A and B are shown apart, each in its own frame.
Chain A
Amino acid sequence: EKASKAALDEEVKITRKPQAPRVKLDEDRLLSAAGIPKLRNKAKHHLKFKGKGHEYSDTARLLSFYQLWLDDLFPKARFLDALAMVEKMGHKKRMQMMRMEWINEGKPRPDNDDLF
């Protein structure tokens, strides 16, 4: 009887594996190679439009372009949810700086004469 009581008193240790960290759609992911750099790259080479008269089909193409990119980047969220998450990221300081940089890249170089 004593033995069984001792067995009862013995502390039962519960060991649990630490949970795998949840994958998040954060700035790091968005700025990584699979993120916006890839989007820009793909857009440059693969995104083609038919132009006038094909507004709806062009838009459908554009939407699926974004959808596939987001599916690669963050597969678990639905398209519209992921879009909202990305939009929210855009308010972060770091993202805004990067956005400015990307826009400035596209701007025409100012002529040297204008600088003084």
Chain B
Amino acid sequence: MEFGDGRRDVVDPEVRAYVSSLVTALGGSGADEDGRYVLGDDALACLRDLKKWLKLYDEKANRLDVARCLAESNLVGGDLLQILAAWPENATEDRLKSKIALACLELLVPLTWPLEKDTQAMTVNHHRHIPYLQIAQLGYKRAIINFDGARILHTAVRCALPSMAEAMGDRSTRDEGIIKLLLYFVRNIAMIAPPPNVQYEGDEAEISRSATIDAFDYQDILHLLLTVSSTMGEEFNTQDVVVLDILFHLIKGVDIEKLFVDEAKADNSKIDELKRLRQKEASMLRSYQVNAPTRHNRFGTMAWMQREDSKMTTISGQSAIMDSTRSLAKMDSTKKFKPPRKALKGEKGPMDFDTPVMLNVQANKHLRTFVEDFLDAGFNPLFSHLRKAIDREAERILEYHPRQFFYLVSWFLEAERVRRKSKVPSKGQKPEEIDNYSLVASVLNQEMFVTLNRAMEQTFENKSWQDLSAAMKCFTQILLTVQEMSESPLEEDQEIAENILSRIFYEETTHDRIANLTRTYKDQGFGYLDSCTELAHHYLRILEQYSKQNVDMQVRSRRRIRRKKKAARADGEDDPNDDVDDSDGEDEARAEKVSRDRKFDFKRFASRFVTQGCVDTFVTFTAYYNDLKPAQLKRAHRFFYRVAFKQDMSVMLFRVDIVALLHKMIKGPEGLDPQASCFKEWDELVKQVLKKCIRKMQERPELVVEMLFSKINSTAQYLEYGYEKQTASAK
């Protein structure tokens, strides 16, 4: 069809005619019926025809023409939602109405289905329609979660209730299909968000995460999720991946610390935050003002710098005459050349979990309640079920599911830890009343470690960095949980934790892998950088603590084991090869030896992190210092401290760019905020490192050249100690 101005319609006119006549025949509202929506005579057939159009035209021919027509004719807002809203709660038994509602759901799911780009199958039509459809889907989501007349999502659940009520074994294929349809509908709604390159023109608040969570709470979707996940394996089986998908899109990027702050405290902390941010801004402005010109911009100062060989460099602007550092900085800033640089890789689409999301107070409250309920009831059944499915590579597990799985496990483990912290332990609590860690036990077993290790291995080999990032986050949280377990007052928890820790401590492959991950960072994006430095930091820290465990504690733990075995023996169980008979004195000697060995092992392990690659990774991380949180800055601080003073290899830090970074952090311009809490310890560290550096340069003049380069270990050894490393010791 040709328009008057010569444009051509993007859709085949015949298709458009058919589809719009179907939409018209579906029903409508008129003045005669007080504006109520009245179904057309053959509404059900119309709905089925529309579904056929979507399936047989769009899907078969791989076009999006029908979806486009439906978006233009406002089918969702104008008809489907009206029809669903007209299905009253008390008419659930009405066969025809429930059939029609189900038919609406069957249309809604394909219409809200995520549009994927960058597939091989994309045609001209996709390129033409996808931008329009993405915006249209935002409109669908807004209409669905903000619908005034009725709870649309709740109505959708009602469509599937009869099927869900059946026992798992008795369900027909159709029942399974309906349940899946409902869950995918919820998934789609949770997933729809403005694409990263598009500015949404409507009210963002209507489709934001907060709005989604509020709607899910109000329409009882959160209850649905709880029910399905807590009975996973009993009532539900293959639905686990969809639930995983929904949970992922619901909580990705949510800050857990903020989630668990009390409301009263939240108000206070908001005021504090405002204060803090204003202080930060003020200090930023101050640092600019120190360098700002004191006169107007046409004042025309010109300075020159006398260089050797009677060379001169001219610099304009008042900042040039303040001091030599400023003039050098000015000279640098006028240069135009930029070396070619690779863009950072990183996920920007719906699978991105590194972009932080803000929630409003209401949504925060709802989500928090949900998370607590989920931890209490749904965590173990859902995640152990999923882990098994991943392990046996079930058909329903798609490529992105392991990533979501590991991310969610890490997220909920952290949530559990934060929740424990926020619970104030009452005084005089008996040990029996303290919760043990059984709520999250399903991800602390040996099978999980196997899965996790394999995932880290594979994703590293395949260079799928986002998956690896999620797995690293998961491992970090498991480590932190185990560490907290080892400090729990319950003996049982302590014992489990000790077992896990000792296994990790002696697992060389894991050591190698983690050192390797830290060493090989190269433009994988900030999210990845954050996960791998976090893992390295906690791994080192926890193993160090384990290696330092004092003799006394080990004696105690041996005694505990002995006592247990004795009890077991008393019960009549006989274990032929146990060493119960060693006495207390032997215990101590043995413990001393063990702790000595462990110290040595740890030292050897920690030395793997004193390579230039690891140092470079942490330097790249530290370069973001103005955007890092205090905990992240602390991580970098501890690492440098370890390299320079614990491992005595400060030479690794003596490189001009690292020295320049450290100097800039303290002395600016645009340095760390001097009022910040961590400034002092950084100041101290930097001062010590620089002091060593200057001293070393005087001691060994050849360092002047080596300051420019990454050092290989043997030269570093020589520069640090003045002798080569002895590879074979003479007898």
Contacts and interface: CB of A to CB of B under 8 A. Distances in A.
Interface string B199-220: 0000000000000000000000
B705 A55 contact: no
30 contacts: A36-B705, A39-B704, A43-B701, A44-B701, A47-B704, A49-B697, A51-B695, A55-B687, A56-B663, A58-B690, A59-B659, A59-B690, A62-B659, A62-B694, A62-B697, A63-B660, A63-B663, A64-B324, A64-B325, A72-B307, A76-B337, A78-B335, A83-B656, A83-B660, A87-B655, A87-B709, A90-B708, A95-B709, A105-B702, A107-B718
Nearest to B723: A107
B592 interface: no
A75 B339 CA distance: 13
Contact of A99 (B338, B655, B701, B709): B709
Interface size class of B (residues with CB under 8 A): 35 or more
A62 B663 CA distance: 11
A106 interface: yes
B706 interface: yes
Contact of B691 (A55, A68, A76, A78): A55
Q: Give the 10 A-B CB pairs with smallest separation, nearest first.
A: A90-B709, A106-B702, A43-B704, A76-B337, A55-B690, A83-B657, A59-B690, A78-B335, A55-B691, A58-B694
A81 B707 CA distance: 15
B718 A103 contact: yes
A85 interface: yes
B74 interface: no
Contacts of B337: 76-78, 81
Interface in A2-34: none
A59 B704 contact: no
Contacts of A95: 709
Contacts, number: 113
Given A55-B694, A84-B339, 6 more contacts: A56-B690, A78-B337, A83-B660, A83-B708, A95-B709, A103-B718
B698 interface: yes
Interface residues of A, number: 44
A85 to B, nearest CB: 6
B325 A85 contact: no
B332 A67 contact: yes
A52 B695 CA distance: 9
B328 A77 contact: no
Interface in B681-713: 687, 690-691, 693-695, 697-698, 700-702, 704-710
B715 A78 contact: no
B710 A90 contact: yes
A35 B60 CA distance: 67
B311 to A, nearest CB: 8
A14 B704 CA distance: 51
B36 interface: no
A100 B709 CA distance: 12
A103 B715 contact: yes
Given A81-B338, A99-B715, A106 B307 contact: no
A105 B573 CA distance: 72
B160 to A, nearest CB: 58
B702 A60 contact: no
Interface in B357-410: none
A40 B705 contact: yes
Contact of A80 (B328, B331, B657): B657
B667 interface: yes
B666 interface: yes
Contacts of A84: 339, 657
Contacts of A71: 313, 331
Nearest to A96: B712
B698 A49 contact: yes
A89 B324 CA distance: 29
A91 B702 CA distance: 18
A70 to B, nearest CB: 9
Interface string B323-345: 01100100111011111000000
A105 B656 CA distance: 22
A71 B311 CA distance: 12
Contact of B325 (A52, A58, A60, A77): A60
- B339, B666, B687, B710 interface centre (most CB from chain A within 10 Å): B339
Contacts of B708: 36, 66, 83, 86-87, 90
Contacts of A103: 702, 706, 715, 718-719
A51 B656 contact: no
Contacts of A72: 307, 311
A87 B710 contact: yes
Contacts of B666: 56
Nearest to B331: A71
Contacts of A102: 702, 705
